Amino acid sequence: MPENILIAIAWPYANAEIHVGNITGSHLPGDIVARYHRLKGNKVLMVSGTDSHGTPVTLAADKEGKPVEEVYKKYHDGFLDLFEGWGITYDLFTTTHTENHFKVSQAMFLALKENGFLFTQKSLQWYSPSSKRFLPDRYVEGTCYICGFEGARSDQCDNCGNVLEPERLINPRSKEGGALELRETEHFYLDLSKLEPDVKKFLQERADHMREPVLGESLGKIEAEGLKPRPITRDLDWGVPIPIEGWTEAGKRIYVWFEAVIGYLSAPIEWSQLQSSSLTGEAVSKGSEAWREWWVNPEAKQFHFIGKDNIFFHTSLWPAQLMGAGAKFLEIFAEDQKPLTLPYDVPANQFMNLEGKKISGSRGWAVWGRDALTRYDPDALRYYLTVNMPEMKDSDWDWSEFVARNNNELVATWGNLANRVLSFAYKHWEGHVPDVDLNALRDIDRNLLAVIENGFKAVGAELEAVHLRAALGEAMKLATAVNQYLDQTAPWSAIKKDRDDAAKTIYTALKAIDSLKILFAPFLPFTSERLHGFFGYETPLFGEQYTEDVTDSLGTHKVLKYRVGQVGNLSHWKPSELKPGQKLNQPGPLFKKLEESVVEEERARLGK
Ligand SMILES: [Zn+2]
Give the N- to C-terminal CA distance of the chain in Å, as an integer: 53
Please tell me the distance between residue 143's alpha carbon and the centre of ligand 1 in angstroms. Answer: 8
Please tell me the distance between residue 163's alpha carbon and the centre of ligand 1 in angstroms. Answer: 9
| pLDDT(568) > 80 | no
E strands within 247-312? 252-254, 301-305
Please tell me the distance between residue 169's alpha carbon and the centre of ligand 1 in angstroms. Answer: 10
Torsions phi, psi for 606 (to 5 deg) = -75, 145
Closest CA to 15 of 74, 57, 62, 58: 57
Judging by DSSP bridges, how do beta strands 352-354 and 43-50 pair with one another? unpaired
Looking at residue 330, its pLDDT comes to: 95
Please tell me the distance between residue 161's alpha carbon and the centre of ligand 1 in angstroms. Answer: 6
Please tell me the distance between residue 370's alpha carbon and the centre of ligand 1 in angstroms. Answer: 34
pLDDT in tens, 168-184: 999 999 988 889 999 99
Please tell me the distance between residue 74's alpha carbon and the centre of ligand 1 in angstroms. Answer: 33
Please tell me the distance between residue 360's alpha carbon and the centre of ligand 1 in angstroms. Answer: 20
Please tell me the distance between residue 160's alpha carbon and the centre of ligand 1 in angstroms. Answer: 4
pLDDT in tens, 371-426: 999 999 999 999 999 999 999 999 999 999 999 999 999 999 999 999 999 999 99
Q: Is 267 exposed, middle or buried (0-12, 13-18, 19+ CB in 10 A)?
A: buried
Please tell me the distance between residue 270's alpha carbon and the centre of ligand 1 in angstroms. Answer: 39
Looking at residue 158, its pLDDT comes to: 85
Please tell me the distance between residue 228's alpha carbon and the centre of ligand 1 in angstroms. Answer: 18
Alpha carbon of 429 to those of 421, 434, 530, 583: distances in Å?
12, 6, 21, 10
Please tell me the distance between residue 170's alpha carbon and the centre of ligand 1 in angstroms. Answer: 11
430: left (phi over 0), alpha (psi -120 to 50) or beta: left
In the chain, % of residues over pLDDT 90: 87
Please tell me the distance between residue 151's alpha carbon and the centre of ligand 1 in angstroms. Answer: 9
Closest CA to 267 of 606, 569, 469, 11: 11
Does residue 66 sit in helix, strand or coil? coil
Contact of 305 with 26, CB cutoff 8 Å? yes
Please tell me the distance between residue 140's alpha carbon and the centre of ligand 1 in angstroms. Answer: 15
Contact of 152 with 142, CB cutoff 8 Å? yes
Please tell me the distance between residue 148's alpha carbon and the centre of ligand 1 in angstroms. Answer: 6
By the CB criterion, residues less than 5 angstroms from ion ligand 1 are 144, 146-147, 149, 157, 159-160
Does residue 520 sit in helix, strand or coil? helix
Please tell me the distance between residue 154's alpha carbon and the centre of ligand 1 in angstroms. Answer: 11
How many residues are listed for the chain in this entry?
A: 608
Residues 581 and 107: their CA atoms lie apart, in Å, by: 60
Please tell me the distance between residue 153's alpha carbon and the centre of ligand 1 in angstroms. Answer: 9
Please tell me the distance between residue 164's alpha carbon and the centre of ligand 1 in angstroms. Answer: 8
Confidence of residue 127 (pLDDT cuts 50, 70, 90): very high
Q: Side chain identity at 61, as an amino acid letter?
A: A
Residues 443 and 184: their CA atoms lie apart, in Å, by: 82
Please tell me the distance between residue 412's alpha carbon and the centre of ligand 1 in angstroms. Answer: 48
Lowest mean pLDDT among 4-18, 93-107, 540-554, 562-576: 562-576
Of the two residues 271 and 178, the one the predictor is more confident about is: 271
Confidence of residue 137 (pLDDT cuts 50, 70, 90): confident
Mean pLDDT in the chain? 95
Please tell me the distance between residue 156's alpha carbon and the centre of ligand 1 in angstroms. Answer: 8
Q: What is the DSSP string of 338-404?
A: -PPPPPSB---B--EEETTB--BTTTTBS-BHHHHHTTS-HHHHHHHHHHT--SSS-EEE-HHHHHH
Residues 575 and 92: their CA atoms lie apart, in Å, by: 31
Please tell me the distance between residue 601's alpha carbon and the centre of ligand 1 in angstroms. Answer: 38
Please tell me the distance between residue 146's alpha carbon and the centre of ligand 1 in angstroms. Answer: 5
Q: What sign does the dihedral 556-334-91-105 (CA atoms) show?
A: positive
Looking at residue 111, its pLDDT comes to: 98
| pLDDT(283) > 70 | no
Closest CA to 110 of 244, 270, 264: 244
Looking at residue 55, its pLDDT comes to: 86
In the chain, % of residues over pLDDT 70: 99
Please tell me the distance between residue 152's alpha carbon and the centre of ligand 1 in angstroms. Answer: 7
Please tell me the distance between residue 225's alpha carbon and the centre of ligand 1 in angstroms. Answer: 15
Please tell me the distance between residue 10's alpha carbon and the centre of ligand 1 in angstroms. Answer: 24
Residues 359 and 20: their CA atoms lie apart, in Å, by: 9
Confidence of residue 282 (pLDDT cuts 50, 70, 90): low
Sheet containing 181-190: give its strands across. Answer: 133-134, 118-128, 181-190, 230-231
pLDDT in tens, 509-547: 999 999 999 999 999 999 999 999 999 999 999 999 999
Looking at residue 286, its pLDDT comes to: 66
Contact of 594 with 403, CB cutoff 8 Å? yes
Q: What sign does the dihedral 266-271-274-280 (CA atoms) show?
A: negative
| pLDDT(276) > 90 | no
pLDDT in tens, 186-225: 999 999 999 999 999 999 999 999 999 999 999 999 999 9
Residues 374 and 384: their CA atoms lie apart, in Å, by: 16
- In this structure, the number of other CB atoms found within 10 A of the CB of residue 600 comes to 10
Residues 281-291 have a mean pLDDT of 76
Q: Is the full-model pTM beyond 0.75?
A: yes
Does residue 450 sit in helix, strand or coil? helix
Looking at residue 162, its pLDDT comes to: 84
The three-point CA angle 46-15-102 to 5° equals 55
Looking at residue 5, its pLDDT comes to: 98
Looking at residue 499, its pLDDT comes to: 95
Please tell me the distance between residue 102's alpha carbon and the centre of ligand 1 in angstroms. Answer: 33
Residues 109-128 have a mean pLDDT of 96
Please tell me the distance between residue 408's alpha carbon and the centre of ligand 1 in angstroms. Answer: 44
Query: What does R_g of the chain's alpha carbons equal in angstroms?
Result: 27
Beta pairing partners, 182: 126
Please tell me the distance between residue 349's alpha carbon and the centre of ligand 1 in angstroms. Answer: 23
335: left (phi over 0), alpha (psi -120 to 50) or beta: left
Alpha carbon of 42 to those of 27, 464, 492, 546, 568: distances in Å?
20, 12, 41, 21, 11
Alpha carbon of 418 to those of 11, 403, 463: distances in Å?
37, 20, 23
Residues 478 and 520: their CA atoms lie apart, in Å, by: 11
Contact of 54 with 97, CB cutoff 8 Å? no
Please tell me the distance between residue 155's alpha carbon and the centre of ligand 1 in angstroms. Answer: 11
| pLDDT(608) > 90 | no
Please tell me the distance between residue 230's alpha carbon and the centre of ligand 1 in angstroms. Answer: 18
Looking at residue 277, its pLDDT comes to: 77
Please tell me the distance between residue 316's alpha carbon and the centre of ligand 1 in angstroms. Answer: 21
Looking at residue 54, its pLDDT comes to: 83
Looking at residue 279, its pLDDT comes to: 67
Please tell me the distance between residue 166's alpha carbon and the centre of ligand 1 in angstroms. Answer: 13
Please tell me the distance between residue 171's alpha carbon and the centre of ligand 1 in angstroms. Answer: 14
Looking at residue 284, its pLDDT comes to: 65
Confidence of residue 369 (pLDDT cuts 50, 70, 90): very high
Please tell me the distance between residue 215's alpha carbon and the centre of ligand 1 in angstroms. Answer: 23
The crossing angle, in degrees rounded to 10, of helices 263-277 and 99-114 is 130
Looking at residue 47, its pLDDT comes to: 98
Residues 344 and 342: their CA atoms lie apart, in Å, by: 6
Q: What is the DSSP letter of 98?
A: S
- In this structure, the number of other CB atoms found within 10 A of the CB of residue 4 comes to 20
